[in-house]
Amino acid sequence: MRNLLLLGIIFIHASLSAQCFMGIDSIYCTNGIPDTILPVDTGGYFDGDGISADGIFFPEILDPGSYVISYKNTQYYDVDTTGVFAPLSGDEQYVSLIDDGFSDGIEIGFDFEFFGSLKNYVRIHSNGFITFNFDLAIFPPYANDIPTPGMPTDLIAASWGDYDPTMGGTISWFQSGSAPNRKLVINYRDLPPYGETEGLLTTQVILFETTNIIEIHTTASPDYGKRKTQGIENIDGTAGYVRPGRNNSYWETYNDYVAFIPQFCIDTLYVEDPPVTEVLDDEINICMPYAGLLHVSGADTYLWLSDDICTMTPGPDPDSYYLHGIAEGTFTCNIVGFNEAGCSDTSQVVVNIETCQTAITNNVETPFQITPNPANNILTIIIAANEFNGKWSLVNLQGAEMQFGELTGLKTEIDIRELPAGIYFLIFDAGDCSAREQFIISH
């Protein structure tokens, strides 16, 4: 006896993403590329904003926010026995069947998905099951295992046994509800087993639109001394699900509920805007071995992508960084800013790198005097050599240029009130003559 029962993974009706989905990121960004969401079990389809039926998620077409996606898969079912026995009533259409006979096709009234295939018509068999299989065949009068290849297949067995409607009872169907929540209801009422006057079967099968759930509400299915089956089977008889203990065996039940619920998983995906990474400097000048100073805004953290040109270390202020040159030239460099959600934005900055002269040329004595030293508010540069003309730059210990300007006459004053206390260098460059002097800001 082959019995699929609940082999493998069973999925609850509102399954968690950990059971159903693979490849989901915690947060997606509106400037991100499409991502593929993978189901644990193939054969179903996705639904929701921003996602295709085959699981391609497109965050770039969505606004920031949370989005619910679902995955429906009627290749896999959960057998649920926790629901409430509650048969439905309606305007019934009666079907007259012979012993071991089946009806013509009955229109379901909506698309019903069963084991991955859409069904629009169903046939009712006198032996307590319905089928979507319209191949002509002589069905056996007795129950069989689920699953079993060979007719009948593609079926829902409410109480598959050997019943004879010519001896009494009724078989009927009706539709109820409105889209997208319509139902097809099939009733077997007081149906006697073949050759018996007792053990009457009263049961109801309900097919649900949209959810594709199958419910069986059995008022009475007595044990009449022959084997019966309750379950569902696919079209080729290779897969099926049964109510435990009711697969081609002796059983009875009263006021009983069982449902076959397709795999249905939901999860929430979160979409965030990226930061706007902005470089505040038009360009950065680096005079090696000293560093340039980069100022950025708009993000929480930053990643420098041009380490082959210059490296980046934390600067003296928030959102400032020292750039340490490696190669001479003019380069366009990239920096990426990240927000707390992990979304990013890339910006560019032009960096000019050259090598500075670090020794005095054509002079054996330093031609400058810095007063006072330590300095407080104003730093004074006195030029001892009248012929010396050029530029000055003020650099901290990390090599970052803090201020710069032109030497003016024999005396130049520099306002240093905005600079923090510490050790600094004044670098003088007159083309063929350069020098460096250390001083202290004390405040």
Query: pLDDT higher for 297 or 292?
Result: 297
82-93 pLDDT, tens digit each: 999 999 999 999
Instruction: In whole angstroms, give the CA distance from residue 310 to residue 331.
Output: 10
Domains of the chain, earliest start first = 86-255 (no CATH), 278-355 (2.60.40.10), 368-441 (2.60.40.1930)
Query: pLDDT higher for 7 or 62?
Result: 62
126-146 pLDDT, tens digit each: 999 999 998 866 677 789 999
**Has residue 15 got a pLDDT over 60?**
no
Three-class SS of residue 18? Answer: helix
- Can you spell out the DSSP letters for 39-90? ESS-S-EEEETTB-TTSEE-GGGS-SEEEEEEEEEEEEEEEE--S-------
Task: Give the C-alpha distances (Å, rounded to integers) separating 319 from 202, 230, 303, 343, 397.
Answer: 76, 69, 12, 18, 19
Q: What is the pLDDT of residue 366?
A: 53
Q: What is the mean pLDDT of the chain?
A: 88
Share of the chain above pLDDT 90, in %: 67
CA 246 to chain centre: 40
**Has residue 261 got a pLDDT over 90?**
yes
Q: Using 50, 70 and 90 to split pLDDT, how confident is the model at 390?
A: confident
Three-class SS of residue 17? Answer: helix
Q: How far apart are the first and last CA of the chain?
A: 93
Task: Give the C-alpha distances (Å, rounded to integers) separating 183 from 77, 130, 154, 210, 298.
Answer: 19, 15, 19, 10, 55
Query: pLDDT higher for 24 or 108?
Result: 108
Instruction: In whole angstroms, give the CA distance from residue 114 to residue 155.
Output: 9
- Token couple for 384: 């001892």
155-185 pLDDT, tens digit each: 999 999 999 999 999 999 999 999 999 999 9
Q: Compute the CA torsion angle 46, 47, 48, 51 (nearest 10 deg).
A: 40
Instruction: In whole angstroms, give the CA distance from residue 151 to residue 153.
Output: 5
Whether the pTM exceeds 0.75: the reply is no
DSSP state letter for 96: -
**Has residue 79 got a pLDDT over 70?**
yes
360-388 pLDDT, tens digit each: 344 434 567 888 888 889 998 887 655 56
211-227 pLDDT, tens digit each: 999 999 999 999 999 99
